[in-house]
Amino acid sequence: MEPDGTTPVEVNIVSGEMHQQSGFCERALVALPVRLILLDADLRIVLANPAYCVPRGVTREDVEGRHIDELFPASLLDGAGLRDALRATIQSGESVQWSGYRYRTDDHDERTINVCLSRFFDDGDRPLLLLTLEDVTERHRQLYERSLLQQIAQAMLGMLQLPRLLHAILTGMTAGGAVGLGFNRAFLMLLGDDDILRTEMAVGPSDPGEALQIWSEVSGNHTSIDDFLADYDALGATGESRFLTRCGELEIPLGEPDMLPGSVLFDGRTAHVIEADKDPRVPEFFSTCLEATEFIVAPLIVKDRRIGIAYADNFISRHPISESDKQLFTSLANHAALAIDRAAVFEEAQTRAQELEEAYRQLEAAQEQTLRAESLATIGEMTAIVAHEIRNPLSTIGGFANLMLRQADDRLKVQRNARIIFDEVMRLEAIVNGLLTFTRPGQPRFRWCRPQDLLSETLEMIENKLDVGDVEIEMTCPEQLPQIFVDIGQVRQVLDNLCRNALDAMAGNGRLTIEGSPGDGGRVVISVSDTGAGISPEDLERIFDTFFTTKETGLGLGLALSQKIAQDHGAELNVESEEGVGTKFSLIFPTDYDELLSRGIVEVRRTPTSPDGE
């Protein structure tokens, strides 16, 4: 062996060309970071480079001549099929390349390798196998860990509800089988507004038996983190165990900056405790409660906000916590902190939304109450007026009946009295009928309808039913008016009332105009105008009052009722008048869906939003 550990390559093994460059080749063999082995047809080692020999503490001589079975682990030769590949290549000369192949060494260490295999012949024409093995375990593990972290972070991403999120985080920390970080036990503490850390959730079996039971149950059915998370109870997060009970009881005020677990929130770094009872940072109650000798604690911090801490240990398996374990755990904790913070914000947003909904509901209820009170007040007013209106005829009827008793012998007077009683009763009946029109026998039936159609019908009604005399009738309405949402029967009633009033005002001479026109904000205006006597300013003030009438035979209910109908449609009924010139009544209907909605004329989901919907 040369001083630098090389072995002169023997001339009779390599080809002629290589012989010429033997110095270079030697150096190449030494420098090669991959293990290089030459095998003969019987799978015996002919040559092994330093990359193979040195880590094993053997020399070339130790391995030359030995059969591959003596040196390579069964998991590589048989499990991975290397032996078959070697034999096949020796036969066929076909080169083989494997990348990312996993096998287990005799020390139960999992390694990942890239394998290259090719055949060549020595100058004796004997077949030789050139085998290179590159150990990529480290690189693969890093890739794997990054991907794992990404998967766990991804799983946490969509979770806005705290319990499920905490469960996901703990699953990420404890799941084994290449799904999670594989710690035995873990728990999360969150920092309250009172600066006290409280355990929110914990995962962990109390003893190896329980652990084994849980894992064997679980690992069979779950191969990805999503599988785990779908099975909320899989890790016993909601089950009973001494560990869960113990750490569930933990309540730690954030006091001294030097004492775990709170200290990690002061220095912002993960703490790795190797011997808990000897570590000055560990308070006695903490190590007594958890019983683990080795554990790690990571802070959960978002910007400057302290969210809480995460704890993990390998209490059951006693597996030491490596540096890469610690780094992975810290990364996971950082993701977890962000996710928890986000979930907290979401929860607050939800609470706020619920509060608003509640406030809105109360507002609606209050509004309903106000409306009801108003309508009751109106009913009260109405009742007073009605009572008065009824009392007059009643007292007349009673008075004459009474008189009749004393005038019984005077036939003429009896007849006259009876007649008066009859007339007053008729008057009462008319009042009662008029009142009944205020009550709707059925629900109003609102429908979208074209103003043009409504006005044409009104024109027909006037010509057919009303006594027009010499009054000129005019109807105008543009084609483009938007449709209005109305109970057609009720609107006809209003128009009937307005037209009759107009005709009465004109006493057989003049012009009656019914007109449709556009108003502000998409509204539709339907008006009835006459060229009659007009209404005095004093009367104008009272014209919509119930029982107000300037006519001798009027009841005074028509306009009051018309106004009520207008209100029920979310519409306005206005009047303009000049004495000696004429009067114009205008019905103004809204057509904007939102306005109709806010006035309660339409209900969401029950009404088409436009005339064309249904």
Q: Is the Cβ–Cβ distance between 115 and 96 less than 8 Å? A: yes
Q: What angle do CA 217, 223, 225 make, to 5 degrees?
A: 105
Question: DSSP E strands: which ranges in 239-329?
Answer: 251-253, 271-273, 295-302, 305-313
C-alpha 530/C-alpha 457 separation (Å) is 19
Residue placing its CB nearer to other proteins in the complex, 52 or 400 = 400
Residue placing its CB nearer to other proteins in the complex, 127 or 554 = 554
C-alpha 482/C-alpha 452 separation (Å) is 10
Greatest Cα-to-Cα distance within the chain, rounded to the nearest angstrom: 165
- Minimum gap (Å) between residue 576 Cβ and other proteins: 23
- Minimum gap (Å) between residue 418 Cβ and other proteins: 12
- Minimum gap (Å) between residue 379 Cβ and other proteins: 17
For residue 261, the tally of other CB atoms under 10 A from its CB is 25
- Minimum gap (Å) between residue 396 Cβ and other proteins: 5
Kindly give, in sequence order, each residue whose CB lies less than 8 Å from that of residue 94, ignoring residues fewer than 6 positions away: 88
Residue placing its CB nearer to other proteins in the complex, 424 or 530 = 424
Nearest alpha-carbon partner for 170 in 192, 158, 155: 155
554 contributes a contact to other proteins by CB under 8 A: no
- Minimum gap (Å) between residue 493 Cβ and other proteins: 27
**Among 40-48, 387-395, 526-534, 582-590, the segment contacting other proteins (CB under 8 A):** 387-395
- Minimum gap (Å) between residue 434 Cβ and other proteins: 18
Kindly give, in sequence order, each residue whose CB lies less than 8 Å from that of residue 16, ignoring residues fewer than 6 positions away: 123
- Minimum gap (Å) between residue 536 Cβ and other proteins: 12
Task: Indicate the DSSP class of residue 19.
Answer: H
Task: Indicate the DSSP class of residue 67.
Answer: B
Q: What angle do CA 391, 397, 398 make, to 5 degrees?
A: 85
Residue placing its CB nearer to other proteins in the complex, 41 or 420 = 420
**Among 94-102, 385-393, 526-534, 561-569, the segment contacting other proteins (CB under 8 A):** 385-393
Where do the H-state alpha helices sit in 68-121?
A: 68-71, 74, 82-92
Task: Indicate the DSSP class of residue 521.
Answer: G
Residues in contact with other proteins, counted by CB under 8 A, come to a total of: 19
Per the structure block, which two tokens stand in for 336? 């977890």
Contact string (CB under 8 A) for other proteins, positions 329-368, x = contact = ----------------------------------------
Q: Residue type for 76, please?
A: L
Q: What angle do CA 149, 153, 157 make, to 5 degrees?
A: 170
C-alpha 612/C-alpha 614 separation (Å) is 7
Give CA separation, 411 vs 16, 99, 397, 407, 423, in Å.
161, 131, 18, 8, 18
Residues 13 to 52: which contact other proteins by CB under 8 A?
none
- Minimum gap (Å) between residue 380 Cβ and other proteins: 13
Q: Residue type for 243, please?
A: F
- Minimum gap (Å) between residue 575 Cβ and other proteins: 20
Radius of gyration, CA atoms only, the chain: 49
Residues 205 to 244: which contact other proteins by CB under 8 A?
none
Residue placing its CB nearer to other proteins in the complex, 102 or 413 = 413
What 3-state DSSP class applies to 175?
coil
- Minimum gap (Å) between residue 393 Cβ and other proteins: 8
C-alpha 516/C-alpha 529 separation (Å) is 12
C-alpha 155/C-alpha 165 separation (Å) is 9
Per the structure block, which two tokens stand in for 404? 């009749």
388 contributes a contact to other proteins by CB under 8 A: yes
503 contributes a contact to other proteins by CB under 8 A: no
- Minimum gap (Å) between residue 386 Cβ and other proteins: 12
Q: Is the Cβ–Cβ distance between 448 and 484 less than 8 Å? A: yes
What end-to-end distance do the CA atoms of the chain give, in Å? 97
Residue whose structure tokens are 């100058």: 123
C-alpha 527/C-alpha 525 separation (Å) is 6
Residues 391 to 450: which contact other proteins by CB under 8 A?
391-392, 394-403, 406-407, 413, 420, 423-424
- Minimum gap (Å) between residue 394 Cβ and other proteins: 7
Nearest alpha-carbon partner for 555 in 382, 428, 398: 428
For residue 574, the tally of other CB atoms under 10 A from its CB is 13
Per the structure block, which two tokens stand in for 186? 């873990």
- Minimum gap (Å) between residue 397 Cβ and other proteins: 7
- Minimum gap (Å) between residue 431 Cβ and other proteins: 13
Residue placing its CB nearer to other proteins in the complex, 400 or 446 = 400
Provide the binding-site residues for other proteins, judged by CB under 8 A: 388, 391-392, 394-403, 406-407, 413, 420, 423-424
